[in-house]
Amino acid sequence: MKLLSGLKGLVGAALLLLPQLVLAQDIDSGDTSWILTSTALVLFMSLPGLALFYGGLVRAKNVLSVLMQCFAIACVVSVLWVLYGYSLAFGDGGGLNGWIGGLSNVFLSDVSRNSISGTLPETTFVMFQMTFAIITPALIVGGFAERMKFSAMLLFSVLWSTLVYLPICHWVWGGGWLAEMGLLDFAGGTVVHITAGVAAMVAAVVLGNRRGFPGTPMMPHNMTMTLTGAGMLWVGWFGFNGGSAVAANGDAGMAILVTHISAACGALTWSAIEWIKFGKPSALGIVTGMVAGLGTITPASGFVGPAAAMFIGISAGFVCFHATVFIKHTLKIDDSLDVFPVHGVGGIIGTFLAGIFVASGFGGTGLAEGVTMSEQVGVQLIGILATLIWTAVLSFGILKLTDRMVGLRVSEEQETQGLDITQHEERGYIL
């Protein structure tokens, strides 16, 4: 009897341990460690990387407003992601799954310590994707810098994240219609860069130019701050692209390698153009070229090889430079920190070129079985156009609604004084 009782106890203990044993087998500790690291790197891109990069580019009287906007967006989007964002982006939408996820996972109700997503704890995947949802609306800040009300920025960010980011994220990464078509977007050419770039351009047009633009020079007030932030962006981007492999494997390693190559080539190309045209290369030019190279390689980073990365980086530096000049000097649109010509145009170029350089003949991972290059490029173009149209139309509507509700733009007097003092009653510098 004692032996039987002891056996029952062992069986009971084994049954209690079984879920943990199964969980341990399914979760890969190497993958989990890498994605946890990547999550920290992507958030590091936003806070402090993007905040410092943007903060140095504006005038001294608006530096705190830009830092505050980036910080507040991180807080607000994090809450939205928990409330319904993750569910709508990655949940099962049933009959509407091609367009949007469902609400079965609001408040992350189905996410626990024992939940698994692939080889990761689902909590890790939730947090990693949250950082992408944070940086995307933060990028848009550069389009309306130095003239939007803080309240309007908050409302716009909430509505835009809900109506633009979440659906497109689901289309591409959540099993939606673009994923079904086979769109190649490894880390956010459409989801992050085209959406942010187009929204910034629409915001710049709707708000109008800053007072004095383009006649009055509006030079960056602190290039040291901008270069510091740029360095953080470069390092953080390894998590952005490398982490999008969602594993610690060869795809992650290649993604990091091609990301670095493209950034370097973009920076050198932009600097070379400035040197030839203006006689001197600028610090602003080399960091802007770097960001162009990073944004352009993003959608292709998990699919292409080093030689393709060089071509993509050079293309980014050349095309994004001329796009910036065209928008500012020909169209005279005050996309203050060049979000569309760098991120939007870069995202378009990278998404398009991913359909070409994925071919094994170019050193890529190879086209899907039965898919020709022309067919893949066609899918890439559909993804680009769909993202452009959806983002432009919805962003315009959201801006108009925000204007009716709280007003978009600060007064002329407030703009002259600066947003630091008029929106936050603080100053970036006491001199």
Helix locations, 279-372, DSSP H? 283-297, 306-325, 339, 345-357
Amino acid at 183: L
Phi-psi region of 416 (alpha: psi -120 to 50; beta: other; left: phi over 0): alpha
Structure tokens at 79: 């809450």
Contact between 367 and 354 under an 8 Å Cβ cutoff? The reply is no
- What is the spatial distance between Cα 234 and Cα 342, in angstroms, rounded to a whole number? 15
Three-state SS at 30? helix
Among 246, 296, 302, 292, residue whose Cα is nearest residue 271 = 292
CATH class of the domain defined by 181-409: mainly alpha
Q: pLDDT-based confidence at 56, cuts 50/70/90?
A: very high
Report the distance separating Cα 61 and Cα 250, nearest Å. Answer: 46
- pLDDT per position as a tens digit, 59-82: 999 999 999 999 999 999 999 999
Q: Evaluate whether 307 touches 362 at the Cβ level (below 8 Å).
A: yes
Q: Identify the DSSP state of 97.
A: T
Query: Quick one: average pLDDT of 297-314?
Result: 98
Find the range with the poorest average confidence among 22-31, 296-305, 370-379.
Answer: 22-31
pLDDT digits (tens, 9 = 90+) for 219-277: 999 999 999 999 999 999 999 999 999 999 999 999 999 999 999 999 999 999 999 99
Cα–Cα distance for residue pair 414/4, rounded to 1 Å: 83
Least confident range of 58-62, 240-244, 396-400, 427-431: 427-431
pLDDT tens digit sequence for 107-160: 999 999 999 999 999 999 999 999 999 999 999 999 999 999 999 999 999 999
Tell me which residue has tokens 């770039």: 197
Instruction: Tell me the backbone φ, ψ of residue 409, rounded to 5 degrees.
Output: -110, 145
The whole-number average pLDDT for the span 306-335 is 97
Question: Span 384-397, mean pLDDT?
Answer: 98
Q: Model's pTM, two decimal places?
A: 0.93
CA gap 130, 47 in Å, rounded: 14
pLDDT at 430: 85
Confidence at residue 5, expressed as pLDDT on a 0 to 100 scale: 54
Q: What CA–CA distance (Å, rounded) separates 371 from 67?
A: 46
148, amino acid identity:
M
